[in-house]
């Protein structure tokens, strides 16, 4: 962007002055990725540690309920569209994105700490009753846990949606896949670091007596670290590198960026619904095993909590390699759509391999399967997210990111519920074979991946851009009228 005084922005066609907004550099992108790293660390606490405790320690009989509670942060994700639109229209402390990220991070760190306190209350009640029983006490505390997870989810919406919109603001079409590759690689670094820290703090020879204080300590250390990372990641970035004020035709008319106007732009193209559906099907198929994998490792492979938590490091390593290779080598050669399509096929193969590993009862086979699954997911995620960031417009970047985030979050929550329900069905259909019961979950994932390709093949970026530009022009005309 240094070859002329003004160059057209590839997304909006507007001119941008490179002298006024410097191009983002790689070290800064890595620093921005610290927030994603923190989200990866937090995911270990909820999807690995709390999930495992509720299933194997408290022994909640209905795994569907566990999946539903853990999925509540996803089911409050319609808030993403609102927070995205607010970050477009209502700057806080002079920032469109940064303040939302910081405030959201503070709330979800506190909510995570409260969640583990409630979980151990449920464990104490179960111990006193001699096992899990649904009664007034357990239902009441489960409702409190659901409320805490809902608050946690709203805080994630408030922070991660403006954060993803910032990635649109600071990038161009020619460097967007590299930004995605680095930032989402940091997410996986967070998963690996979180898994390692959890493995070090959690006891290898566990009993309720030594597990509870270790888990509580873990839920103090990681949320505090994550909040600190979120502050560091955003310092000075928006003010120096964001193109938002240069690209948006509405930025100086913020009273016109109403939710209704943003919704009109969002729904202008049929491609929006098509890509939304692709994201839903793809994300459900990618994360259906998330809620059962820890239990799979513990029940089928006899792994203790500390060892099964470390499985995330194998998945994260594969994903990290997949992100790096895809963003810098694969997408520049194959393009975003073909890369995502290849990722769908690779994930389908990898999840079938995970299901087959149960019949070997060999943990090394499981670890290899997770490494390959992570690699395949890296291909798919980088391709899909790069395409997702292309399917935005500057005037409503936060709203579009909120919509795409809504698709992914709802799908991820649905995936947890479907995974738990599929396991319940599998245990009833195959009462004498845990391998087949868990294998049903992996088989459904593979089928879903193949279905998602059908929707992906029908996404047309050019048609989307033409439709949304017309909608923006219509919004501006109606304001003038």
189 found inside a domain: yes
> What is the pLDDT at residue 8?
35
The average pLDDT across 74-98 equals: 85
For 11, 35, 167, the CA distances from 29, given in Å and listed in that order, are 20, 11, 9
DSSP codes of every residue in 202-255: S-SS--HHHHHHHHHHHHHHHHHHHHHHHHHHHTTHHHHH--HHHH-SSTT-GG
Residue 255 pLDDT: 45
Look at the block and give the residue holding tokens 């790096």.
324
Residue 114 lies in a domain: yes
In whole angstroms, give the CA distance from residue 288 to residue 285. 6
pLDDT tens digits, 190-240: 888 888 888 888 876 655 567 788 888 999 999 999 999 999 999 999 988
Model pLDDT, residue 57: 79
- Cα separation, 180 vs 222, in Å, equals 24
pLDDT bin (cut points 50, 70, 90) of residue 12 is: very low
370: in domain: yes
C-alpha span between 221 and 215 (Å, rounded): 10
**360 within some domain:** yes
Q: What is the pLDDT of residues 104-117, one digit of tens each?
A: 999 999 999 999 99
| 430 φ, ψ (degrees, to nearest 5) | -120, 65
> How many domains does the chain fold into?
1
Once rounded to an integer, what is the mean pLDDT over residues 290-304? Answer: 81
- d(C-alpha 456, C-alpha 347), whole Å: 15
Say what the pLDDT of residue 6 is: 31
Residue 394: per-residue pLDDT: 65
Residue pair 298/59 in contact (Cβ under 8 Å)? The answer is no
* 14 belongs to a structural domain: no
> Are 259 and 402 in contact, with CB atoms under 8 Å apart?
no
* CB neighbour list of residue 147: distance below 8 Å, 6 or more residues apart: none
**What pLDDT, on the 0 to 100 scale, is given for residue 75?**
80
- For residue 400, which of 154, 179, 87, 33 has the smallest C-alpha distance? 87
Which is it for strands 15-16 and 7-8: parallel, antiparallel or unpaired?
antiparallel
Look at residues 289, 291, 299 and name the one whose alpha carbon lies nearest to residue 56.
Answer: 299
Express each pLDDT in 366-404 by its tens digit.
889 999 999 999 899 888 888 877 777 666 677 777 777
Is 297 a residue whose pLDDT tops 80? yes
* pLDDT tens figures, 240-288: 888 776 655 555 444 445 556 666 766 777 887 888 888 889 989 998 8
Residue 186, in any domain of the structure: yes
Band the pLDDT of 423: cuts 50, 70, 90.
confident
296, HSE (Cβ side, Cα atoms, 13 Å): 32
Judge residue 304's burial from the number of C-beta atoms within 10 Å of its C-beta, 0-12 exposed, 13-18 middle, 19 or more buried: middle
Residue 465 lies in a domain: yes
Mean pLDDT of the chain: 82
CATH code, domain with 400: 1.20.1250.20
Residue 226: the pLDDT is 96
In this prediction, residue 349 carries a pLDDT of 94
- 16 DSSP β-pair partners: 7
pLDDT of residue 13: 38
Is 117 contained in some domain?
A: yes
Gap between the Cα atoms of 175 and 188, Å rounded: 20
Instruction: Indicate left, alpha or beta for 236 from its phi (over 0: left) and psi (-120 to 50: alpha).
Output: left
For residue 99, the model assigns a pLDDT of 94
Of the two residues 289 and 410, the one the predictor is more confident about is: 289
Domain of 125, in residue numbers: 24-480
Residue 261: per-residue pLDDT? 64
Higher pLDDT: 282 or 307? It is: 282
| Structure token digits, residue 114 | 């409260």
Q: Residue 472: what pLDDT?
A: 65
Of 166-180, 425-439, 466-480, the range with the highest mean pLDDT is 425-439
* pLDDT surpassing 90 at residue 150: yes
**Which pLDDT score is estimated for 339?**
92
Q: Which helix H or strand E contains 15, and what residues bound it?
A: strand 15-16
Per-residue pLDDT at 103? 96
Looking at per-residue pLDDT, the higher value among 134 and 6 belongs to 134
Residue 443's nearest CA partner among 351, 367, 376 is 351
């Amino acid at each position: 962007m240094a070859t002329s005084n003004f160059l057209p922005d590839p997304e909006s066609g507007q001119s941008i002055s490179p002298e006024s907004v410097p191009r983002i550099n790689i070290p800064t992108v890595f620093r921005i990725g610290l927030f994603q790293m923190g989200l990866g660390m937090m995911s270990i606490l909820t999807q690995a540690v709390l999930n495992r405790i509720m299933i194997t320690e408290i022994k909640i009989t209905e795994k569907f309920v566990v999946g539903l509670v853990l999925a509540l942060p996803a089911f409050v994700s319609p808030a993403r569209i609102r927070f995205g639109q607010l970050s477009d229209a209502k700057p806080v402390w002079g920032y469109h994105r940064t303040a939302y990220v910081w405030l959201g991070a503070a709330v979800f760190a506190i909510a995570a700490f409260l969640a583990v306190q409630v979980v151990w209350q449920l464990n104490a009640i179960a111990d006193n009753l001699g096992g899990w029983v649904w009664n007034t006490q357990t239902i009441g505390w489960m409702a409190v846990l659901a409320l805490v997870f809902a608050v946690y989810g709203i805080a994630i919406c408030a922070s991660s949606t403006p954060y993803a919109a910032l990635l649109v603001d600071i990038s161009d079409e020619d460097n967007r896949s590299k930004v995605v590759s680095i930032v989402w690689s940091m997410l996986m670094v967070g998963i690996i670091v979180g898994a390692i820290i959890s493995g070090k703090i959690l006891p290898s020879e566990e009993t309720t007596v030594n597990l509870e204080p270790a888990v509580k300590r873990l839920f103090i250390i990681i949320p505090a670290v994550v909040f600190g990372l979120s502050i560091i990641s955003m310092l000075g970035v928006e003010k120096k590198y964001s193109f938002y004020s240069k690209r948006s035709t509405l930025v100086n008319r913020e009273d016109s960026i109403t939710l209704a106007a943003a919704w009109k732009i969002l729904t202008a193209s049929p491609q929006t619904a098509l890509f939304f559906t692709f994201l839903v099907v793809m994300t459900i198929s990618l994360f259906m095993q998330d809620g059962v994998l820890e239990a799979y490792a513990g029940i089928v492979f006899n792994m203790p909590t500390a060892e099964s938590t470390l499985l995330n490091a194998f998945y994260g390593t594969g994903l990290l390699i997949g992100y790096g290779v895809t963003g810098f080598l694969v997408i520049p050669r194959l393009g975003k759509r073909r890369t995502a399509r290849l990722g769908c096929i690779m994930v389908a193969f990898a999840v079938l391999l995970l299901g087959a590993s149960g019949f070997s009862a060999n943990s090394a086979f499981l670890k290899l399967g997770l490494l390959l699954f992570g690699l395949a997911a890296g291909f798919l995620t980088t391709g899909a997210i790069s395409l997702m960031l292309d399917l935005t417009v500057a005037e409503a970047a936060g709203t579009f990111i909120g919509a795409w985030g809504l698709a992914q979050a709802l799908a991820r929550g649905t995936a947890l519920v479907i995974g738990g329900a599929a396991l319940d069905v599998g245990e009833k259909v195959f009462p004498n074979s845990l391998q087949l019961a868990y294998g049903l979950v992996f088989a459904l994932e593979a089928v879903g991946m193949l279905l998602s390709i059908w929707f992906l093949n029908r996404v047309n970026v050019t048609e989307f851009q033409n439709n949304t530009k017309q909608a923006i022009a219509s919004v501006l005309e109606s304001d003038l009228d």
